Structure 1
Amino acid sequence: MQIALYEPGLGYYANTSPKFGPMPVSGSDFITAPELSPLFGQALANQVAEALAATGSAEVWEFGAGSGALAAQLLRALGEKVRRYHIVDVSGTLRERQQAALAPWKDIVQWHDTLPAAISGAVVGNEVLDAMPVQLLARVNGDWYERGVALHGESFAWADRPTSLRPPVGIEGEHDVVTEVHPQARAFIATLAGCLRAGTGGAAFFIDYGFPEAEYYHPQRIGGTLVCHRAHQVDDNPLIDIGRKDITAHVDFTGVALAAQDEGLTVLGYTSQGRFLLNCGLADLMQAASLQERANAMKLLAEHEMGELFKVIGFAAGGAQGAEWAALGFAEGDRSHRL
């Protein structure tokens, strides 16, 4: 999965395909919330502004900035509240697009290939955790295997080998199951936590599709969540068209929360994207928008669109008000108790 997505010149996020866009005719494969509606970034900016005030900082960090749309929305909405906007992105081709999109803010935007030792301010990541490579586990006739990739002639095929790896919670029943574990996402969160603790105060917000572990490893979820996106269609075979389509897995938000807590961060909250955006003032923003803009923004909120499947989790470390402060986005509908 790492090679298929990130191998220089060959991986999906390393090639020049459009990726982000509203319709297949553009050559894109999927659309994310910032491309769907600028109101997404404007609402998120209210939470980021609060985080900057709480941590006494004027710096924003974005991971996996994609097309640069979210960065532009945040920069436009936050104005002078931001002294420096940092982007950490492993894709050189996407960095070029981001630089073009963010040209008006070229004096305050800075790109990084790796994490610094310390981070202060507000961190955001929209659909970044789902793009981190996972390991597949398969329970077959009661025995657990790690499912990997083997060369079969001139093509690829699945291959299983016995493993001591297990899901973080037991999956009830004796039926066959395929699922995922997320060591890279957890390691990323743990590393970020160390950077935030080394800083003068910080908060992080991640928006992505996923579940708490009780839902993720529910006995009825027998096929896991690994899927591919190409031309706005979904398939479940990552062994074909390698490098030409996105490969993604849903986020285990319980695992993410535990990784952060284990490294000393406080969980500010966890809720659905719809509730988070409403808490951040999206309804008021929609009132001043055109009919088409409202229709697009409704897709961010509706349960059958992005409003329920996508979740938001927030963390904090230190700062002017300490690590524990009431974050705007989780004021109502906080589901931290379900993690």
Structure 2
Amino acid sequence: MQTPPAGSVSAPLSSLIRQAIARHGDWLPFDRFMALALYAPGLGYYAAGDRQFGLLPSSGSDFVTAPELTPLFGAALARQVAQALRACDSRELWEFGAGSGALAEQLLDALTADGLAPERYTIVDLSGALRQRQQARLARFGAQVRWVSELPDTMHGVIVGNEVLDAMPVQLLHFDGTQWLERGVVVNDEGFAWSDRPTTLRPPLDAPFVPGTVTEIHPQARAFIATLADRLQRGAAFFIDYGFPEAEYYLPQRHGGTLMCHQGHQADGDPLVDIGRKDITAHVDFTGIALAAQDAGLEVVGYTTQAHFLINCGLVERLADADLKTRANAQKLLLEHEMGELFKVIALARGCDASFTDAPLGFVHGDRSHTL
């Protein structure tokens, strides 16, 4: 049982979740709980505030992402984006989950400096609070930047998403040694608690799982990719996130799964405490992403580590004239024990010139598509 201490959950969000549990027969699958905890309008973690992203806890933030570490991240990514824009014959750029707006600012500045300023930069973000923060940061770009809450029927352009897939709700599975159970959330006299029910759901990989294993499956992330593929008539998409290919994700040794929470730049594994006041996340199954893309008609044109991708895109050369602080922060993007190995980049495309799809810049060295 997991019970939140008094005052750890906002009363309106707690009430909303309790109502949802009651409506679903007094048991709510974890993916629905996670969706409410993160995205309930005006109440969820991403919907009720805008200070999640920051370099240090003193800023009131909960975690740092690559664009907050150094603008060199966006400058390097811009080189790959520029190649894709040319090859896909587009000047339109889309970003999903733009966070603080840092990456959008870096990409717009870098592409403009290279003479390839997007005619339109569209941000898709579910958080009204974050949208306001982004609008303030990107005001100097005027009408070049726009915000939408829904995708058009057709898209032509280049898409980027940094740490978007990991925030999509996941289903939790528990293996008790003889059968798989789906993990959900119930209400008791003390608060919220775990409860498991038998299920026909299974991990995508048949491995010798040990009793007590808890792991995640990612139907919402796969559905998102399928929808995106259905709309993208011509273009490319780049997703950067922490995760593994299927064979590494579902190792028997990873018996605790990857579900994690972040608050005040500290991590914990209890999503039933401080609901709405901390991030809930899970690592990405990149094999699942690749299969969903291919099933929907997209081509997987590259998959590699963040370190290889950024080096291929010229990050190391940019460090030559950088100051000590910038070098130190940029090293965190590359080092194996920091973000360099755990974070991966996957590139998807349809209808773009072979000069890009055969040799995308960020994957020239160290491509790992064969591991998917």
Tell me which interval the TM-score lies in, with the shorter structure as reference length. over 0.9
State the match for 1:152 in structure 2.
188
Q: Percent identity of the aligned residues?
A: 65
Which of 289, 303, 307 is 1:270 aligned to?
A: 303
Once the two structures are superposed, the pairs formed by residues 63-78 of structure 1 within 5 Å of their partners are 63-78=96-111
3-state SS, counterpart of residue 345 of structure 2 = strand
Shift of 1:106: 1.8
Once the two structures are superposed, the pairs formed by residues 274-313 of structure 1 within 5 Å of their partners are 274-313=307-346
Shift of 1:176: 2.2
Deviations 1:111-160 (A, max 9, x none): 11011111111100000000000000000122100000000114100000
Equivalent pair of 1:266/1:323 in contact (CA under 8 Å) = no
Which of 40, 46, 67 is 1:13 aligned to?
A: 46
Equivalent pair of 1:61/1:86 in contact (CA under 8 Å) = yes
Which of 343, 348, 370 is 1:315 aligned to?
A: 348
State the match for 1:176 in structure 2.
212
Q: Within 2, Cα distance between the matches of 1:83 and 1:324?
A: 23
1:209 and 2:242 equivalent?
yes
Equivalent pair of 1:269/1:314 in contact (CA under 8 Å) = yes
3-state SS, counterpart of residue 305 of structure 1 = helix
Q: Within 1, Cα distance between the matches of 2:97 and 2:285?
A: 18
Name the Cα RMSD after superposition: 1.1
Which of 121, 135, 149 is 1:85 aligned to?
A: 121
Equivalent pair of 1:55/1:321 in contact (CA under 8 Å) = no
Shift of 1:22: 1.1
Equivalent pair of 1:317/1:323 in contact (CA under 8 Å) = no
1:235 and 2:268 equivalent?
yes
Q: Within 2, Cα distance between the matches of 1:324 and 1:31?
A: 31
Equivalent pair of 1:265/1:323 in contact (CA under 8 Å) = no
Shift of 1:292: 1.2
Structure 1 counterpart of 2:368, one-letter code? R
3-state SS, counterpart of residue 120 of structure 1 = strand
Shift of 1:195: 1.0
State the match for 1:120 in structure 2.
156
Q: Which runs of 5+ in 1 are unaligned?
A: none
Q: Within 2, Cα distance between the matches of 1:206 and 1:59?
A: 17
Shift of 1:171: 2.3
Shift of 1:273: 0.2
State the match for 1:43 in structure 2.
76
Shift of 1:23: 1.1
Q: TM-score when scaled to structure 1?
A: 0.97
Shift of 1:34: 0.1
Deviations 1:275-328 (A, max 9, x none): 000000001111121121111101100001000000000011003448833100
Structure 2 counterpart of 1:44, one-letter code? L
Q: Within 2, Cα distance between the matches of 1:297 and 1:321?
A: 31
Q: Within 1, Cα distance between the matches of 2:94 and 2:177?
A: 46
Q: TM-score when scaled to structure 2?
A: 0.89
Equivalent pair of 2:50/2:130 in contact (CA under 8 Å) = no
Which of 50, 75, 88 is 1:55 aligned to?
A: 88
Aligned length: 336
Q: Within 2, Cα distance between the matches of 1:166 and 1:267?
A: 25
